Structure 1
């Protein structure tokens, strides 16, 4: 072990110990450890076990965010317990997301969770996709990733679509391997079995860096058109932002050209189970 292998954990431990006003001796006593071991942890000369990291977080009365920082600094994956977006305590968040989606009209936008499950859509999303999918089929769509795996419109280039499939699969595969979450494992099985997925999807994805925006082709009003697909993450800031719950993202389509007016499709008869205004 190098002298600086776990310095980040030591710095965090010392910081929180001083914030709480606890001496090394008192912390060691509470943890049923030794003062010498606490000193080694703070100096980066020892690595804590995962259970010790959790015990330190509890002893220092750290919340989920700050315990996540400790876990990451010690070399362990931060935990992200699932939460219910529909729970009463998230009423304020649902209101904020609704206002965000409304503000994005006339551009199609949908709110999704970390598994790609659709939580909310705006009126433009309904108007845009019912043009090619139809109202009944659109109402049955539950997962954004599965929706992306539909066949591209006839005449669209195959390579961008294959790249998109590869990147979605790589995201779910790595989440599955890192977290051992059965939902991600099931997603990998289902998505990789899709007939459009190239056999070398992992090799394809390895050559592509994830981006917040990429170009896609969609059928709209009988023509294949070019759009920018943009994803905006909604969550905490900082090193552990990716484990803040609920992990949400807003996915939006913007026309690449200026000539397409999506606002023309915003009629008064729009309805969808996830449209709340």
Structure 2
């Protein structure tokens, strides 16, 4: 099954100009990097020439476009999309689901999440539920999106001691996502939504390309006198040839200290005792 977000795409010239701007490349820069004449590229961008399929793929490689966006570029040029988008629930993805389930399970008793390109939480292990249940006093989170979890004052935000540090870093990631995929209207909409939350500093509304997201960040929660500190690692699928696989990532949380690790083990023991009591 091919990606479905392909109707009503912009002309290829407009898309190339948008991507050049996102990558900060002039028309000449792109032509040189792709090994084509600047004149021919100019004709492609103005609609005077139709690029070959091979040229479209070469330009996409040069612009380091995600698979979803490569499909869009191909369709804009009049060609069929190249990369499938296979739903995770389909039988052909069974092996992938087993791998994901295994990673999530092995992370116990510490939280782990499966997240898509828009930070929607698609799956989580039991530890994630236990920690969230503690932090939210048994309430169900109103969101299934990690950014909304962090920015909404009624959600996990009120439990994060270093919220401004965490939120600022996530905002840099979101700005980078929007800049990296300029045709992604959903990412732009998510950015607009996040900026409406109270307490978001004015300067977070503009991307600062000089400041990169932090490679490793510690999240410090505090609730009922408990301090929980986690750092996270991200796992992605290497050299994916499917849109769905490229956009998935697994976030695994590790305890920063023994107190956090001990509390996670305590939550498991408490759950077992309650199950036996029932």
Common fold: TM-score over 0.5: yes
**Which TM-score applies when normalising by structure 1?**
0.65
Which has the larger displacement, 210-219 or 119-128?
210-219
> Contact 2:44 / 2:51 at 8 angstroms: preserved in 1?
yes
Mark the CA change 1:5 to 1:253 in structure 2 (over 3 Å): closer, same or farther: closer
Q: Does 1:184 align with 2:184?
A: no
For structure 2, the 5+ residue unaligned runs are 1-25, 72-84
Structure 1 match to 2:258: 258
Tell me the alpha carbon deviations over residues 35-79 of structure 1, each in whole angstroms, 9 at most, x when there is no partner.
xxxxxx4x8885483785552279xxxxxxxx4x55232x48454
Q: Compute the displacement of 1:164 (Å).
A: 3.0
Tell me the alpha carbon deviations over residues 69-90 of structure 1, each in whole angstroms, 9 at most, x when there is no partner.
55232x4845416542223321
Decide which structure has greater helix share: 2
Match of 2:222 among 219, 223, 239: 219
Structure 2 match to 1:71: 60
Match of 1:9 among 34, 49, 53: 34
Q: Compute the displacement of 1:119 (Å).
A: 1.1
> Contact 1:166 / 1:205 at 8 angstroms: preserved in 2?
no
The SS at the match of 1:126 is helix
> Contact 1:235 / 1:244 at 8 angstroms: preserved in 2?
no
* C-alpha distance in 2 between matches for 1:225 and 1:190: 28
* C-alpha distance in 1 between matches for 2:53 and 2:168: 43
* C-alpha distance in 2 between matches for 1:174 and 1:255: 32
Mark the CA change 1:121 to 1:221 in structure 2 (over 3 Å): closer, same or farther: farther
Structure 1 match to 2:169: 164
Mark the CA change 1:54 to 1:105 in structure 2 (over 3 Å): closer, same or farther: farther
> Contact 1:131 / 1:221 at 8 angstroms: preserved in 2?
no
> Contact 1:128 / 1:220 at 8 angstroms: preserved in 2?
no
Q: Compute the displacement of 1:97 (Å).
A: 0.3
Mark the CA change 1:144 to 1:158 in structure 2 (over 3 Å): closer, same or farther: closer
> Contact 2:115 / 2:121 at 8 angstroms: preserved in 1?
yes
**Which TM-score applies when normalising by structure 2?**
0.65
Structure 2 match to 1:124: 127
Mark the CA change 1:155 to 1:49 in structure 2 (over 3 Å): closer, same or farther: closer
Tell me the alpha carbon deviations over residues 211-269 of structure 1, each in whole angstroms, 9 at most, x when there is no partner.
342122113553233321x24141233xx999774411112222221233112212249
> Contact 1:118 / 1:143 at 8 angstroms: preserved in 2?
yes
CA-atom RMSD in angstroms: 3.8
Tell me the alpha carbon deviations over residues 118-156 of structure 1, each in whole angstroms, 9 at most, x when there is no partner.
111011111111101144514x53111211213434682
Q: Compute the displacement of 1:157 (Å).
A: 3.9
Structure 2 match to 1:56: 54
Mark the CA change 1:57 to 1:135 in structure 2 (over 3 Å): closer, same or farther: farther
Higher Rg of the two aligned structures: 1
The SS at the match of 1:105 is coil
The SS at the match of 2:252 is strand
